[in-house]
Chain A
Amino acid sequence: MKKTVYSMCGMCTVRCPIRVEVEDNEVIWIEGNPHLLGGALCAKGSAGTALVKDDERPQQPLIREGGRGAGRWRKASWSEALDYIAGKLTAIKQEYGPESLVVSSRGGPWQAMYKTFCHAFGSPNYTNHDSTCGRNTHHASLSINGVGRKGFIYDIKNSKHLVLFGRNMFASLRIAENLQTMDMLQKGGRLTYVDVRQTMTGLKATRFFQVRPGTDYALALGFIHEIIKRQLYDKAFIERYVADFDSLCTFVEEYTPAWAAKECGVKEKAILAFIDEVAEDMPQVIFHPGWMLSRYKDSFYASRALHILNVLMGNIEIKGGLIMPKGPGDCGKPGIRNFDCPKPDIKRADGVGWKYKHFDKGPGLQHLFFDAMRTGEPYPVKAWIAMRHDPFTAMPDPQAQKLAFDNCDLLVSIDTHYSEFGWYCDVILPESMYLERDNPVCVQKGPKPRLAVRQKAVEPLYDTKPGWEIFKLLADRLDLQEYFPHSTIEDIWAWQLEPTGLSIDDFKDKGFVSLTDEAIMYDRDKLDGKFKTPSGKIEIISNKLTDAGLESLKPYESPTKPPKGQFRLVFGRSAVHTHGHTINNILLYELMPENTLWINTKVAAKLNVKEGEIVDVIAVDGFKQRIKAHVTDFIHPECVFTVHGFGRQVPLQTRAYHAGMSDQKLMVGMLESWDQAGGGMNLCESFVTVRRSARNPKRRVEL
């Protein structure tokens, strides 16, 4: 029998809405939800059908038998594996206290459940992957606007000019955003793209700045200088809502377009022409403040500068600008219930909130737990549960991480596939993949907020369980039932939806429930109270930063030039893979089985490297990986680039195993390199040596 299920994709963490057709417990069709995306879906979304059938994912709980990472596993039943974890957790709690547990996840709309588990157990140490992703942008936005990076929705469709600093949106696909951008461009809108290399996004640009790696901040400062000099900014908006504007004017005086052009390696007249365009397109100009900006040591300040550019445009809460997301309350409707447990009153092991007071206390900073593991200060960290999170792929220098994790008595990975971290863990709990599981209802804020739900399309193929049930079963064993009282997803949905008067059946026809028909906009003259800064204004100078001994307007420092013979290692995305999650997917593997190393043509000629030849890429300590070179004019000669997520070392993933090169393993010593102001890791601050590999045969010797 054929049935249709509206759900949410899970091939990447964008979670695009999908419509799935199922026949005899087999997925026969996946498309983008026609009500929201008109059917559009990316390659990864369609390849979900291959993930369902993939037998190279964990098929039942596994308990480690050999040494960590040795890959000797004992197949276990769910009750055995959960009892094992609960036993270990109880012993750790007794010996070291409940705060020695860390629960990490990738983030996302279902974090409340993982956080509740962590807090209910008695630990304040819930964290997510964001210190390797959007933390710098998030903290930059908080310091200026008083709201985090999700505090604005970009109304790209109605804008006239979108400016992207390394935000490679046509490789890091979000289909709704991509469609908006295409529609904007088709209407004659402009796209300015800034990057160290040409990308799929840059191809669609009307203006392209290929900058020297690490100089984004300089370019943004040059823009600010010129906009202020020409007095293009929205004076009324700034007068009304912005504090300390004068400090900004004084600060940028020295950062002229001529200076920025020289620093970034671009043409001054291109900057001036760009500002001419901005003048024409204002206020519908969106400076995207960055997504994954855990890159350079000043990425936080670069993001601040981009936020400031938006403020100068006066584009906040206008059509074609930055719109504040609205929730159920703005529609005059009650919200949904969610899992919750107050955070225990214990200081966090990562130091956020007491040692580092200028950071958002929510998920803290994941990379700062390693110190606690190594030193036992402020207290020991002894157990780590990673909920669909792979620190060894997300963070630099897995070798250094392993040395720290070895101080833990329990490492657990809950995931749909084998992660690099999971392979090193003590227990792997296999979560059902997204087409096989239900998730709690979530709120999707925006100008037109919605409630949405992921619903199971097919029954699990293997002995796997959905996340909500895994946490429920663990909670039962640890006497935390009161926080997880529901034993079916139907109970959870009914409890969540009760205040709204809706039932899960209301989601059947579209997969979501709109809370309003018309987009809700605040009165732009009455935005007081919307900026949650201490002064209630948009703050150019943040006292939180000042109190932490940090500058709000940081003088620009030129990035380090790579030592002779070395290159800055930068990484990014491809449209057909989601970092490490999809490399082993047979359909996507066929499209892109391995990554390459982009290297500038002139540099490659000096190294005697030709297109497709193998090069050795060597880290500072001599650790070496091999990869095929992609020789191109369209990358800055100071850097080399590769797509992140490859070079995986889980033998049971036969396709992904040792396919390509993993950039994070070359970032030796970089676990300590992070942005003290923004909290993000500096993932593009490592240098590698590149040489032609001896593996390129000169003569063929066989027999």
Chain B
Amino acid sequence: MNKYMIYLNTKRCIGCHGCEIHCKTNKKLPFGAILCEIDHQPLTSIRGVPKTEFSFRSCYQCDEPYCASICPTGAISKREDGIVLVDEEKCIGCMACAGACPWGVPQLNQEKNKMVKCDFCVDRVDQGMEPVCVTKCTTQALRFVTLTRF
């Protein structure tokens, strides 16, 4: 079972796209690759105020990740805590994972010719910190949540 998730308090989110840039700078990604995305529904008027719901999407860290099973070099694996991550050493940049993922989550870092995906900033998590999108969220709308079974 996945241990973590990133939760968006949509009431606090202001759609400023900070998280997207925080992520890109932390992973040193070149133009093109964006690992998380803030989006919103078209506006609808609710009691006179045009409103919308924001959504935050990074990687769902699937229970049975297609990206991992299709990878020809075994570069993608799922850790015990549920985080699905790419081993850059093994990755050959073939992009099979990008095609296998229903949401096209893994992306090519064209500078390195390696695949890159959201891994909840696993290096930070292992040091007891939170993913960068959460740490630096402009309005503290994103939260890194540890899941517990009822």
Contact residues of A with B, CB < 8 Å? 29-32, 38-43, 45-47, 49-50, 170, 173, 175, 178-179, 182, 185-186, 198, 200, 202-208, 270, 575-576, 586-588, 590-591, 632-634
Contact = CB atoms under 8 A, between A and B. Distances in A.
B49 A208 contact: yes
Contacts of A170: 14, 16
B140 A40 contact: yes
A335 B36 CA distance: 46
6 contacts: A40-B140, A179-B140, A182-B139, A202-B49, A204-B14, A575-B18
B136 A31 contact: yes
Contacts of B49: 202-203, 205-208
Contacts of B135: 31, 39
A208 B48 contact: yes
B142 to A, nearest CB: 10
B16 A587 contact: no
A46 B18 contact: yes
Interface in B92-150: 135-141
B81 to A, nearest CB: 23
B69 interface: no
Contacts of A175: 138
Contact of B18 (A38, A42, A202, A634): A42
Given A202-B49, A204-B11, A588-B21, 9 more contacts: A31-B135, A43-B17, A46-B18, A178-B138, A198-B50, A200-B15, A205-B49, A208-B48, A633-B43
Contact of A203 (B18, B26, B50): B50
Interface string B49-91: 1111000000000000000000000000000000000000000
Contacts of B137: 40
A39 B50 contact: no
Contacts of B16: 42-43, 170, 173, 200, 575-576
Pick the most buried of B18, B21, B135: most chain A CB atoms within 10 A of its CB: B21
A586 B30 CA distance: 9
A587 B24 contact: yes
Contacts of B52: 203
B12 A182 contact: yes
A246 B62 CA distance: 69
Contact of B14 (A45, A575, A588, A590): A575
B137 to A, nearest CB: 6
A40 B135 CA distance: 7
A47 B138 contact: no
Contacts of B24: 46, 587
B50 A208 contact: yes
B51 to A, nearest CB: 6
Given A43-B17, A178-B14, A634 B138 contact: no
Contacts of B139: 40, 178-179, 182
Contacts of A270: 48
Contacts of A50: 25
B144 to A, nearest CB: 12
Given A43-B16, A575-B16, A202 B140 contact: no
Contacts of B12: 182, 186
B11 A186 contact: yes
Contacts of A40: 136-140
A178 B15 CA distance: 13
A49 B50 contact: no
A49 B48 contact: no
Contacts of A182: 12, 139-141
Contacts of B138: 40-43, 173, 175, 178
A43 B21 contact: yes
A45 B17 CA distance: 12
Contacts of A634: 43, 50
Nearest to A40: B138
A586 B43 CA distance: 29
B25 to A, nearest CB: 5
B20 A198 contact: no
B25 A591 contact: no
A393 to B, nearest CB: 22
Contacts of A43: 16-18, 20-22, 138
Pick the most buried of B12, B14, B52: most chain A CB atoms within 10 A of its CB: B14
A31 B136 CA distance: 6
B14 A200 contact: yes
A198 B45 CA distance: 10
A266 B135 CA distance: 41
A47 B50 contact: no
Contacts of B15: 200, 575
Nearest to B44: A633
Contact of B31 (A29, A41, A49, A590): A590
A587 B21 contact: yes
A635 B149 CA distance: 47
A481 B10 CA distance: 56
A591 B20 contact: yes
Contacts of A575: 14-18
Interface in B1-51: 11-12, 14-18, 20-22, 24-26, 31-32, 34, 43, 48-51
B48 A207 contact: yes
Given A208-B50, A587-B21, A39 B136 contact: yes
A110 to B, nearest CB: 26
Nearest to B137: A40
B11 A198 contact: no
B50 A41 contact: no
